[in-house]
Structure 1
Amino acid sequence: MTLVSAFVPIWILTAVGYVACRWGLLGEAVASVLGRFVFHLAMPSALFLALSRMPLSGFAGRSLLAFGMSTAAVVGFGWVAASWLFGRPPVERPIWGMAAGYVNSANLGIPIATQVLGTVSFLAEVVLLQVLVVTPVILIALDRHSDPAGRVRVRRIASLPVRNPVILASLLGVACSAADLRLPSAADTSLALLAGAAVPAALVALGASLHRTAAPSRAEPTGPAELAVIATLKLVAQPVIAYAAGLALHLSAPQLLAVVVCAGLPTAQNTFIFGQEYGVGETVANRAVVVTTTLSLGTLAAAATLLG
C-alpha cells in the first residue's frame, strides 16, 4: 500500500460518517456516542496493548525529542501570538496555544498511524508526552487564570491520570511493559477486539462531527485571520519544525516520517473540551478543530508523499 493510498480508507470512512449524519441514519447523537466509545473504551485498549507490548528500551528518545521541540515552539508562539496579534486576554492564551500545537493523537492519530505508519507505537509515546507534560501546563495556566485569587487547584491536576482513561491506560501499559506482565488470553483478545474498533469508529465519528459543526451557528465566528494563523502553525509550521529537528538529531527516514506525520495531525478536540470546561476560548477552539481537521487530510497526505 502506497502512502497516498493509505489515506483512501480514512477519507472514505470519514465521508461515510458525514453522509450517515447528513441523512439521519444514525441519529443526532452519533458523533457524541461514538466519540465517547472511542475515548473511553476503544482508544485506551489500543494504547494499552501497544505500550504493554513495547519494551521500554524501544522508546524513541530522539524522535520524541524532535516532536517535543516542535510542540514547545508552536504552542509557545501561539500562546504569545494570541495577545500580540489578536489582543486575546490572558485567560484565553492557553487555549489559543493549545489550538496551534496540541495534536489530535487519539481520535484521528490512531487511524492515521495505523494506515500510514503501520503501528501506533510512536503515537503512544506522543500521547504520553502530551498528557503527562503539555496537558498539566495548560490546565495549570487555565486554573490560575480562572481562579479569582490566581490559585492552582493541585488536587485536580494530580487526579488527572485517574480521571482520564487515555492517560490511565497509557500508564498501565507502561507499567505492564516494565514488569513484563502479560494478560490472560481472554482479556488480551477482548482488548484486541475493542482496539480494532477504534479506527473505524473514530473516523465515522469524525465525519459525523464535521457535519454537525458545519451547520449554521448563532455563535459569533472567530475571525478568518485567526483561523488562518492557527491552521498555518498547526499544519505547516509544526511539521516543518519537527522535520528540521529530526534532521538535526539524525533520525532515520522512517523515524522522520513518524515525527512529521504526528506533528502534522490537526488540533485535538480536547482543546474545545478544555475551553468548554473553563468557559474560555470555546469559539476559537471549535473552529480550529473543524478547520485543521478538514485541511489535515490533504496536508498529511502531501507530507507523507514527500517524505515517502
Structure 2
Amino acid sequence: MTLISAFVPIWILTAVGYAACRQGLLGEAAAAVLGRFVFHLAMPSALFLTLSRMPLSGFAARSMLAFGVSTAAVVGAGWLGSSRLFGRGRGERPVWGMVAGYVNSANLGIPIATQVLGDVSFLAEVVLWQVLVVTPMVLVALDRHRNPAGRVRIRRIASLPARNPVILASLLGVACSAAGLRLPSAADASLTLLAGAAVPTALVALGASLHHASPSGAEPAALAAITALKLVAQPVIAYAAGLALHLSAPQLLAVVVCAGLPTAQNTFIIAQEYGVGEAVANRAVVMTTTLSLATLAAAVALLG
C-alpha cells in the first residue's frame, strides 16, 4: 500500500486535466499554456530551490556511476532506436532518448525513496545528474533542431543557459549551494509558491494533452519499446553495473529503485515546448507511471 499511495495523486491529477479539457473548462490551448507556465516559471523555480538547498559533498561515486551507465545506455538506445527502428526525424530523437531514460525523481522519487530506502540522499544525486548532465544534452540537441541551419555553434551552445530557464535556474541553484548563499525571505517564499505549482500543473497539462493528442501520434510498438527500456532495461542495466562495481546490498537497492522510476512528466513539458515528440512523451509518462507500480514492487521484493 505504501507504493500505491505515492502513485495515486499522479493518476488523479492527470485524470483531472483530461476531464477538464473534455468538459471544455480550460479551452483548446490549455495544454500549451499550462506547459509554458511550467517550463518558464514553475519548473525553474523548483529546480533552483532544490539545487540551492542541496549539499554538493559526500557523493556516492560508484552508485552514481552505476546509475549513469544505465541512463546512458537507455537514452542512447531510445535516441538511436527512434531513427533506425521507427523512422523518426532528427528533432524527435532526443525526446525519445529522454523519455526512455529520464526518471521521475521528484514527485514520485521522493515518496518512494522515503518509504522504500529510508532516505533520499542518493535520490538527490540522481537529481543533480539529470539536471546538470542529461537535460542540457537533450536541450542542446533540441536547440540545434530549432536552429534553421541545423548546425551546432559554440556561441549558440554557450548562450543556451541564458536562453533556457531550466538550465539557467539549475546552474544558479548549484552556484548558490556551492557559495552557501540563501535568498531573502520574500524571494524564497515567492519561489516556493511557484515551485509548488510545478508538479500539479505539469500533471494537469499532461492530462489535457492526452485529450487533444492524435490517437495515431504514438504507435503501440513504439510505446511498448520505450516502456520496456524505461521499466525493464534501465533497472536491469543498473543492477548489472552495480554488481560489477561491487556495491553493497543497500546501495544496489537504491540504484535499481531509482533507475526503475517511471518517465518524468518534465519530458512531456520539454517536448511540448520544442514542438516535437509530444504524443510519445505524454503516453510514455502515463504508461510507465501506471506499470512502474508493479515493476518497482518486484524490484523491491527481489532485492529488499
TM range (shorter): 0.7 to 0.9
1:172 positional shift = 0.5
Which of the numbers 124, 127, 130 marks the counterpart of 1:124?
127
1:75 positional shift = 2.9
Q: Is the 8 A contact 2:42 2:196 kept in 1?
A: yes
Structure 2, unpaired ranges of 5+: 115-119
CA–CA distance in structure 1, aligned partners of residues 218 and 10 of structure 2: 28
Which of the numbers 77, 96, 99 marks the counterpart of 1:99?
96
Structure 1, unpaired ranges of 5+: 277-281
Which amino acid is the alignment partner of residue 165 of structure 2?
Answer: P
SS at match of 1:56: coil
CA–CA distance in structure 2, aligned partners of residues 38 and 105 of structure 1: 17
Percent identity over the alignment?
55
1:83 positional shift = 5.2
Aligned in 2, Cα 1:192/1:167: closer, same or farther, shift over 3 Å?
same
Question: Which has the larger displacement, 50-59 or 122-131?
Answer: 122-131
* 1:291 aligns to 2:279 (yes or no): no
Aligned in 2, Cα 1:223/1:132: closer, same or farther, shift over 3 Å?
closer
TM-score w.r.t. length of structure 1: 0.78
SS at match of 1:28: coil
* 1:229 aligns to 2:232 (yes or no): no
CA–CA distance in structure 2, aligned partners of residues 272 and 199 of structure 1: 16
Q: Is the 8 A contact 1:104 1:268 kept in 2?
A: no
Q: Is the 8 A contact 2:239 2:252 kept in 1?
A: no
* 1:203 aligns to 2:206 (yes or no): no
Q: Is the 8 A contact 1:101 1:238 kept in 2?
A: no
Question: Which has the larger displacement, 195-204 or 68-77?
Answer: 68-77
Q: Is the 8 A contact 1:47 1:124 kept in 2?
A: no
Aligned in 2, Cα 1:101/1:241: closer, same or farther, shift over 3 Å?
farther
Aligned in 2, Cα 1:247/1:93: closer, same or farther, shift over 3 Å?
farther
Aligned in 2, Cα 1:61/1:134: closer, same or farther, shift over 3 Å?
farther
The aligned counterpart of 2:117 is: none
* 1:176 aligns to 2:172 (yes or no): no
Which of the numbers 233, 238, 249 marks the counterpart of 2:234?
238
CA–CA distance in structure 2, aligned partners of residues 266 and 231 of structure 1: 14
CA–CA distance in structure 1, aligned partners of residues 233 and 293 of structure 2: 16
Q: Could you say what the CA RMSD is over the residues aligned between the two structures, in angstroms?
A: 3.2
Which amino acid is the alignment partner of residue 22 of structure 2?
Answer: R
* 1:255 aligns to 2:258 (yes or no): no
1:263 positional shift = 6.6
CA–CA distance in structure 2, aligned partners of residues 111 and 273 of structure 1: 21
CA–CA distance in structure 1, aligned partners of residues 40 and 186 of structure 2: 20
Which amino acid is the alignment partner of residue 291 of structure 2?
Answer: T
1:3 positional shift = 1.5
Which of the numbers 291, 298, 304 marks the counterpart of 1:306?
298
Aligned in 2, Cα 1:37/1:267: closer, same or farther, shift over 3 Å?
closer
The aligned counterpart of 1:279 is: none
Question: Which has the larger displacement, 158-167 or 170-179?
Answer: 158-167
1:132 positional shift = 3.4
Equivalent residue runs for 1:44-123 within 5 Å = 44-82=44-82, 84-86=84-86, 88=87, 92=89, 95-96=92-93, 98-102=95-99, 109-117=105-113, 121-123=124-126
1:168 positional shift = 0.8
Aligned in 2, Cα 1:267/1:102: closer, same or farther, shift over 3 Å?
farther
Aligned in 2, Cα 1:151/1:204: closer, same or farther, shift over 3 Å?
closer
Which amino acid is the alignment partner of residue 289 of structure 1?
Answer: A
Which amino acid is the alignment partner of residue 99 of structure 1?
Answer: W
1:71 positional shift = 2.5
1:180 positional shift = 0.5
SS at match of 1:232: helix
* 1:30 aligns to 2:26 (yes or no): no
The aligned counterpart of 1:155 is: 155
CA–CA distance in structure 2, aligned partners of residues 102 and 17 of structure 1: 21
SS at match of 1:12: helix
What per-residue deviation string (whole Å, max 9, x for no partner) do you get for residues 117-160 of structure 1? 35673453122221234543x3587589x74xx84322222211
Aligned in 2, Cα 1:171/1:241: closer, same or farther, shift over 3 Å?
same
Aligned in 2, Cα 1:267/1:238: closer, same or farther, shift over 3 Å?
farther
1:18 positional shift = 0.7
1:25 positional shift = 1.2
